[in-house]
Amino acid sequence: MFRTVLLPVLWLAGASAAAQNPGAFTLRGQIVGPPVQVSGNLEVVLERSVDHSVAKTYTDSSGNFEFRNIEAGRYDVVVKADGYETARQYVEVGNSLADSVGLAAAEAADPTALANAPPGVIGPIFVVLRRKSAIPGVESDAETEAAPAVIAELTQKYSRKLADEYAKALEFNRKGETGKALERMEFVVKQAADLPVVRNSLGVLYQKAGRRRDAEREYNAARKLNPQLTAALLNLGSLYLEEAEDSAALGPIATGRILDDALDVLEAAVKLQPDSALAHYLLGVANYQSSFDEEAEAGFKRAFELERMPPARLMLAHIYARQTKWTDALTQLDAYLKENPNSPDRAQVLEMRSKVVEDLQAGKK
Protein backbone atom coordinates (compact mmCIF):
# COMPACT_ATOMS: atom_id res chain seq x y z
CA MET A 1 0.00 0.00 0.00
CA PHE A 2 0.93 3.71 0.05
CA ARG A 3 2.33 3.88 -3.48
CA THR A 4 0.28 6.67 -5.11
CA VAL A 5 2.18 9.91 -5.79
CA LEU A 6 0.64 13.25 -4.86
CA LEU A 7 -0.57 15.48 -7.67
CA PRO A 8 1.83 18.33 -8.57
CA VAL A 9 -0.99 20.85 -8.01
CA LEU A 10 -0.25 20.56 -4.26
CA TRP A 11 3.20 21.98 -4.77
CA LEU A 12 2.04 24.71 -7.15
CA ALA A 13 -0.58 26.03 -4.75
CA GLY A 14 1.90 26.18 -1.89
CA ALA A 15 4.70 27.66 -3.97
CA SER A 16 2.53 30.51 -5.20
CA ALA A 17 1.78 31.59 -1.67
CA ALA A 18 5.41 31.23 -0.64
CA ALA A 19 6.50 33.60 -3.36
CA GLN A 20 4.11 36.23 -1.98
CA ASN A 21 4.60 35.65 1.74
CA PRO A 22 6.85 32.89 3.15
CA GLY A 23 5.00 32.93 6.48
CA ALA A 24 1.47 32.66 5.11
CA PHE A 25 1.02 28.91 4.92
CA THR A 26 -1.90 26.93 6.30
CA LEU A 27 -1.41 23.23 6.89
CA ARG A 28 -4.53 21.07 6.97
CA GLY A 29 -4.83 17.43 7.89
CA GLN A 30 -6.96 14.65 9.25
CA ILE A 31 -6.44 11.80 11.69
CA VAL A 32 -7.20 8.49 9.99
CA GLY A 33 -6.51 4.79 10.41
CA PRO A 34 -8.69 1.68 10.33
CA PRO A 35 -10.78 1.50 12.38
CA VAL A 36 -10.07 4.77 14.22
CA GLN A 37 -12.90 6.53 16.00
CA VAL A 38 -11.54 10.02 16.63
CA SER A 39 -13.25 12.33 19.06
CA GLY A 40 -12.91 16.09 19.13
CA ASN A 41 -10.21 17.92 21.07
CA LEU A 42 -7.46 15.46 20.24
CA GLU A 43 -4.18 17.38 20.54
CA VAL A 44 -2.03 17.72 17.41
CA VAL A 45 1.49 19.11 17.79
CA LEU A 46 3.70 20.67 15.11
CA GLU A 47 7.41 20.13 15.84
CA ARG A 48 10.55 21.49 14.21
CA SER A 49 12.57 18.72 15.83
CA VAL A 50 12.00 16.08 18.49
CA ASP A 51 10.32 17.65 21.55
CA HIS A 52 10.61 21.17 20.05
CA SER A 53 7.00 22.21 19.66
CA VAL A 54 6.21 25.29 17.55
CA ALA A 55 2.40 25.05 17.47
CA LYS A 56 -0.49 23.07 18.87
CA THR A 57 -4.06 22.63 17.74
CA TYR A 58 -6.99 20.27 18.29
CA THR A 59 -9.11 18.10 16.04
CA ASP A 60 -12.79 18.57 15.40
CA SER A 61 -15.31 15.75 15.76
CA SER A 62 -14.26 14.32 12.36
CA GLY A 63 -10.55 14.29 13.16
CA ASN A 64 -9.72 17.36 11.04
CA PHE A 65 -7.09 19.84 12.17
CA GLU A 66 -5.42 23.00 10.85
CA PHE A 67 -2.29 25.03 11.54
CA ARG A 68 -2.33 28.65 10.37
CA ASN A 69 0.37 31.24 9.69
CA ILE A 70 3.26 28.78 9.64
CA GLU A 71 6.55 29.43 7.89
CA ALA A 72 8.14 27.35 5.17
CA GLY A 73 10.30 24.55 6.53
CA ARG A 74 10.42 20.97 7.69
CA TYR A 75 8.08 19.77 10.41
CA ASP A 76 6.74 16.71 12.15
CA VAL A 77 3.02 16.48 12.89
CA VAL A 78 2.71 14.46 16.12
CA VAL A 79 -0.42 12.91 17.59
CA LYS A 80 -0.72 10.93 20.82
CA ALA A 81 -3.92 9.13 21.79
CA ASP A 82 -4.74 6.56 24.44
CA GLY A 83 -4.77 3.06 23.00
CA TYR A 84 -2.76 4.07 19.92
CA GLU A 85 0.90 4.29 19.05
CA THR A 86 2.37 7.80 18.82
CA ALA A 87 1.91 8.95 15.22
CA ARG A 88 4.54 11.17 13.61
CA GLN A 89 4.06 12.44 10.03
CA TYR A 90 6.91 14.32 8.33
CA VAL A 91 5.97 17.29 6.16
CA GLU A 92 7.86 19.98 4.25
CA VAL A 93 5.99 23.25 3.91
CA GLY A 94 6.97 25.30 0.89
CA ASN A 95 8.71 22.44 -0.91
CA SER A 96 7.71 19.62 -3.21
CA LEU A 97 4.89 17.85 -1.45
CA ALA A 98 5.47 14.70 -3.44
CA ASP A 99 8.24 14.21 -0.88
CA SER A 100 6.85 16.16 2.04
CA VAL A 101 3.67 14.51 3.18
CA GLY A 102 4.78 10.96 2.61
CA LEU A 103 3.41 8.19 0.45
CA ALA A 104 0.96 7.14 3.16
CA ALA A 105 -0.86 10.45 2.91
CA ALA A 106 -0.75 10.32 -0.86
CA GLU A 107 -2.69 7.09 -1.09
CA ALA A 108 -5.46 8.47 1.10
CA ALA A 109 -5.62 11.92 -0.51
CA ASP A 110 -8.68 13.19 -2.35
CA PRO A 111 -7.36 14.67 -5.64
CA THR A 112 -10.45 16.88 -6.08
CA ALA A 113 -10.02 18.43 -2.66
CA LEU A 114 -6.32 18.98 -3.29
CA ALA A 115 -6.87 20.60 -6.67
CA ASN A 116 -9.41 23.02 -5.18
CA ALA A 117 -7.23 24.05 -2.26
CA PRO A 118 -6.81 27.85 -2.05
CA PRO A 119 -3.34 29.41 -2.47
CA GLY A 120 -1.05 28.89 0.51
CA VAL A 121 -3.04 25.94 1.83
CA ILE A 122 -1.06 22.71 2.14
CA GLY A 123 -2.77 19.38 2.33
CA PRO A 124 -4.76 17.73 3.47
CA ILE A 125 -2.13 15.47 4.97
CA PHE A 126 -3.24 12.28 6.68
CA VAL A 127 -1.81 11.18 10.02
CA VAL A 128 -2.35 7.47 10.49
CA LEU A 129 -3.01 6.21 14.00
CA ARG A 130 -2.26 2.55 14.63
CA ARG A 131 -3.76 0.69 17.55
CA LYS A 132 -1.43 -0.59 20.21
CA SER A 133 -1.35 -4.31 19.68
CA ALA A 134 -1.30 -7.12 22.20
CA ILE A 135 1.47 -8.54 20.04
CA PRO A 136 4.86 -7.67 21.55
CA GLY A 137 7.36 -6.07 19.20
CA VAL A 138 10.32 -8.15 18.16
CA GLU A 139 12.49 -5.66 16.35
CA SER A 140 13.97 -3.57 19.16
CA ASP A 141 15.84 -6.27 21.05
CA ALA A 142 17.08 -7.92 17.88
CA GLU A 143 18.40 -4.65 16.48
CA THR A 144 20.04 -3.66 19.77
CA GLU A 145 21.82 -6.99 20.02
CA ALA A 146 22.91 -7.03 16.37
CA ALA A 147 23.86 -3.34 16.03
CA PRO A 148 27.56 -3.57 17.05
CA ALA A 149 28.19 -6.48 14.69
CA VAL A 150 26.33 -4.79 11.83
CA ILE A 151 28.19 -1.52 12.34
CA ALA A 152 31.49 -3.38 12.35
CA GLU A 153 30.59 -5.26 9.17
CA LEU A 154 29.44 -2.09 7.40
CA THR A 155 32.67 -0.34 8.38
CA GLN A 156 34.83 -3.22 7.17
CA LYS A 157 33.02 -4.03 3.92
CA TYR A 158 31.84 -0.56 2.94
CA SER A 159 32.70 2.58 4.89
CA ARG A 160 32.55 4.22 8.26
CA LYS A 161 30.12 6.75 6.82
CA LEU A 162 27.66 4.00 5.89
CA ALA A 163 27.98 2.51 9.37
CA ASP A 164 27.25 5.93 10.85
CA GLU A 165 24.12 6.24 8.69
CA TYR A 166 22.93 2.88 10.01
CA ALA A 167 23.53 4.00 13.59
CA LYS A 168 21.66 7.25 12.94
CA ALA A 169 18.74 5.30 11.49
CA LEU A 170 18.51 3.20 14.65
CA GLU A 171 18.68 6.31 16.82
CA PHE A 172 15.93 8.08 14.88
CA ASN A 173 13.84 4.92 15.15
CA ARG A 174 14.39 4.84 18.91
CA LYS A 175 13.20 8.45 19.13
CA GLY A 176 10.09 7.67 17.11
CA GLU A 177 11.19 9.64 14.03
CA THR A 178 10.27 6.94 11.57
CA GLY A 179 10.46 9.13 8.46
CA LYS A 180 14.04 10.21 9.13
CA ALA A 181 15.02 6.68 10.12
CA LEU A 182 13.53 5.35 6.88
CA GLU A 183 15.46 7.84 4.77
CA ARG A 184 18.77 6.74 6.24
CA MET A 185 18.01 3.03 6.30
CA GLU A 186 16.96 3.08 2.64
CA PHE A 187 20.28 4.73 1.83
CA VAL A 188 22.14 2.01 3.73
CA VAL A 189 20.22 -0.78 1.98
CA LYS A 190 21.00 0.66 -1.46
CA GLN A 191 24.68 0.31 -0.64
CA ALA A 192 24.55 -2.91 1.38
CA ALA A 193 21.60 -4.90 0.02
CA ASP A 194 23.39 -8.18 0.80
CA LEU A 195 23.21 -7.77 4.59
CA PRO A 196 20.13 -9.58 5.96
CA VAL A 197 19.95 -7.73 9.27
CA VAL A 198 19.89 -4.39 7.44
CA ARG A 199 17.08 -5.61 5.17
CA ASN A 200 15.18 -6.77 8.25
CA SER A 201 15.67 -3.36 9.89
CA LEU A 202 14.29 -1.63 6.81
CA GLY A 203 11.29 -3.94 6.95
CA VAL A 204 10.64 -2.91 10.54
CA LEU A 205 10.59 0.75 9.54
CA TYR A 206 8.30 0.11 6.59
CA GLN A 207 5.94 -1.75 8.91
CA LYS A 208 5.90 1.16 11.34
CA ALA A 209 5.12 3.50 8.46
CA GLY A 210 2.19 1.32 7.42
CA ARG A 211 3.88 0.23 4.17
CA ARG A 212 3.11 -3.44 4.66
CA ARG A 213 3.95 -4.78 1.23
CA ASP A 214 7.33 -3.04 1.34
CA ALA A 215 7.91 -4.47 4.80
CA GLU A 216 6.94 -7.93 3.58
CA ARG A 217 9.40 -7.64 0.69
CA GLU A 218 12.28 -6.70 3.00
CA TYR A 219 11.55 -9.43 5.55
CA ASN A 220 11.47 -12.02 2.77
CA ALA A 221 14.71 -10.64 1.33
CA ALA A 222 16.33 -11.00 4.76
CA ARG A 223 15.03 -14.59 5.01
CA LYS A 224 16.44 -15.44 1.60
CA LEU A 225 19.85 -13.99 2.48
CA ASN A 226 19.92 -15.77 5.84
CA PRO A 227 17.37 -18.58 6.34
CA GLN A 228 18.48 -18.79 9.99
CA LEU A 229 17.48 -15.21 10.83
CA THR A 230 14.63 -15.82 13.24
CA ALA A 231 13.95 -12.11 13.72
CA ALA A 232 12.86 -11.77 10.09
CA LEU A 233 10.40 -14.65 10.50
CA LEU A 234 8.99 -13.21 13.71
CA ASN A 235 8.66 -9.75 12.21
CA LEU A 236 6.94 -11.16 9.14
CA GLY A 237 4.59 -13.16 11.34
CA SER A 238 3.75 -10.08 13.42
CA LEU A 239 3.10 -8.17 10.20
CA TYR A 240 0.55 -10.75 9.06
CA LEU A 241 -1.10 -10.79 12.49
CA GLU A 242 -1.38 -7.01 12.45
CA GLU A 243 -2.83 -7.13 8.95
CA ALA A 244 -5.32 -9.83 9.90
CA GLU A 245 -6.47 -7.77 12.88
CA ASP A 246 -7.13 -4.75 10.67
CA SER A 247 -8.82 -6.77 7.89
CA ALA A 248 -11.61 -8.26 10.02
CA ALA A 249 -14.17 -6.16 8.17
CA LEU A 250 -13.21 -7.85 4.89
CA GLY A 251 -14.71 -11.12 6.07
CA PRO A 252 -13.43 -14.50 7.29
CA ILE A 253 -12.09 -15.70 3.92
CA ALA A 254 -9.73 -12.74 3.45
CA THR A 255 -8.68 -12.79 7.10
CA GLY A 256 -8.19 -16.56 7.00
CA ARG A 257 -5.74 -16.32 4.11
CA ILE A 258 -3.63 -13.80 5.99
CA LEU A 259 -3.70 -15.94 9.12
CA ASP A 260 -2.62 -18.97 7.09
CA ASP A 261 0.45 -17.02 6.01
CA ALA A 262 1.10 -16.06 9.64
CA LEU A 263 0.80 -19.67 10.77
CA ASP A 264 3.23 -20.90 8.12
CA VAL A 265 5.86 -18.31 8.98
CA LEU A 266 5.56 -18.63 12.75
CA GLU A 267 5.59 -22.43 12.68
CA ALA A 268 8.87 -22.12 10.78
CA ALA A 269 10.17 -19.72 13.45
CA VAL A 270 9.32 -22.17 16.25
CA LYS A 271 11.09 -25.01 14.42
CA LEU A 272 14.11 -22.79 13.87
CA GLN A 273 14.25 -21.54 17.46
CA PRO A 274 12.16 -23.80 19.74
CA ASP A 275 13.37 -22.02 22.89
CA SER A 276 12.02 -18.63 21.77
CA ALA A 277 9.16 -17.56 24.04
CA LEU A 278 8.16 -14.87 21.56
CA ALA A 279 7.92 -17.37 18.70
CA HIS A 280 5.58 -19.57 20.73
CA TYR A 281 3.56 -16.54 21.82
CA LEU A 282 3.08 -15.18 18.30
CA LEU A 283 2.18 -18.64 17.02
CA GLY A 284 -0.34 -18.81 19.86
CA VAL A 285 -1.85 -15.51 18.72
CA ALA A 286 -2.13 -16.80 15.14
CA ASN A 287 -3.85 -19.96 16.35
CA TYR A 288 -6.15 -17.98 18.65
CA GLN A 289 -7.21 -15.65 15.83
CA SER A 290 -7.79 -18.76 13.69
CA SER A 291 -9.99 -20.25 16.45
CA PHE A 292 -7.57 -23.15 17.00
CA ASP A 293 -7.91 -22.94 20.76
CA GLU A 294 -6.06 -26.14 21.65
CA GLU A 295 -2.98 -25.14 19.68
CA ALA A 296 -3.20 -21.57 20.94
CA GLU A 297 -3.36 -22.71 24.56
CA ALA A 298 -0.27 -24.88 24.09
CA GLY A 299 1.63 -21.97 22.54
CA PHE A 300 0.80 -19.51 25.32
CA LYS A 301 1.62 -22.05 28.03
CA ARG A 302 4.99 -22.76 26.42
CA ALA A 303 5.74 -19.04 26.08
CA PHE A 304 5.00 -18.54 29.76
CA GLU A 305 7.12 -21.52 30.75
CA LEU A 306 10.08 -20.15 28.80
CA GLU A 307 9.89 -16.52 29.84
CA ARG A 308 6.84 -15.88 32.05
CA MET A 309 5.43 -13.47 29.46
CA PRO A 310 2.56 -11.47 31.04
CA PRO A 311 0.60 -11.21 27.74
CA ALA A 312 0.53 -15.00 27.59
CA ARG A 313 -1.53 -15.08 30.79
CA LEU A 314 -4.03 -12.64 29.33
CA MET A 315 -4.37 -14.65 26.14
CA LEU A 316 -4.97 -17.81 28.15
CA ALA A 317 -7.72 -15.93 30.00
CA HIS A 318 -9.27 -14.97 26.66
CA ILE A 319 -9.18 -18.58 25.47
CA TYR A 320 -10.86 -19.87 28.63
CA ALA A 321 -13.46 -17.11 28.51
CA ARG A 322 -14.28 -18.00 24.92
CA GLN A 323 -14.69 -21.60 26.03
CA THR A 324 -16.83 -20.46 29.00
CA LYS A 325 -14.27 -21.93 31.39
CA TRP A 326 -14.87 -19.07 33.79
CA THR A 327 -12.90 -20.45 36.74
CA ASP A 328 -9.79 -21.01 34.61
CA ALA A 329 -10.15 -17.55 33.09
CA LEU A 330 -10.47 -15.99 36.54
CA THR A 331 -7.36 -17.83 37.74
CA GLN A 332 -5.28 -16.37 34.89
CA LEU A 333 -6.63 -12.86 35.39
CA ASP A 334 -5.98 -12.89 39.13
CA ALA A 335 -2.45 -14.17 38.56
CA TYR A 336 -1.83 -11.46 35.99
CA LEU A 337 -3.06 -8.70 38.30
CA LYS A 338 -0.93 -10.01 41.17
CA GLU A 339 2.21 -10.34 39.07
CA ASN A 340 1.74 -6.99 37.31
CA PRO A 341 0.29 -4.56 39.89
CA ASN A 342 1.34 -1.46 37.93
CA SER A 343 0.39 -2.66 34.45
CA PRO A 344 -0.95 0.18 32.24
CA ASP A 345 -3.84 -2.05 31.14
CA ARG A 346 -4.91 -2.81 34.71
CA ALA A 347 -8.26 -1.02 34.34
CA GLN A 348 -9.18 -3.08 31.27
CA VAL A 349 -8.12 -6.32 32.94
CA LEU A 350 -10.20 -5.49 36.01
CA GLU A 351 -13.17 -4.81 33.76
CA MET A 352 -12.71 -8.18 32.07
CA ARG A 353 -12.42 -9.83 35.47
CA SER A 354 -15.73 -8.31 36.57
CA LYS A 355 -17.47 -9.72 33.51
CA VAL A 356 -15.93 -13.15 34.08
CA VAL A 357 -17.11 -13.11 37.71
CA GLU A 358 -20.63 -12.20 36.56
CA ASP A 359 -20.68 -15.06 34.07
CA LEU A 360 -19.27 -17.46 36.65
CA GLN A 361 -21.97 -16.53 39.16
CA ALA A 362 -24.67 -16.71 36.52
CA GLY A 363 -23.53 -20.22 35.62
CA LYS A 364 -23.90 -21.35 39.22
CA LYS A 365 -27.53 -20.28 39.44
Does the pLDDT at position 110 exceed 70? no
Domains for the chain: give ranges and CATH numbers. 9-128 (2.60.40.10), 309-365 (no CATH)
Q: How far apart are CA 26 and CA 123, in angstroms?
A: 9
Contacts 24+ apart (CB under 8 A), 197-200: 197/143, 197/146, 197/149, 197/150, 197/222, 197/226, 197/229, 197/231, 198/150, 198/154, 198/166, 199/225, 199/232, 200/139, 200/142, 200/229, 200/231, 200/232, 200/235
Residue 97 has pLDDT above 70, yes or no: no
Residue with the larger pLDDT of the pair 345 and 159: 159
The better pLDDT of the pair 302, 250 is held by 302
Looking at the predicted structure, is the pLDDT value of residue 144 above 70? no
**Helix/strand/coil for 100:** helix
Backbone angles phi, psi at 85, to 5 degrees: -70, 150
Asked if residue 115 has pLDDT above 90, the reply is no
pLDDT band of residue 18 (cuts 50, 70, 90) is very low
The predicted-structure confidence for 238-250, as pLDDT tens digits, reads as follows 999 999 988 877 8
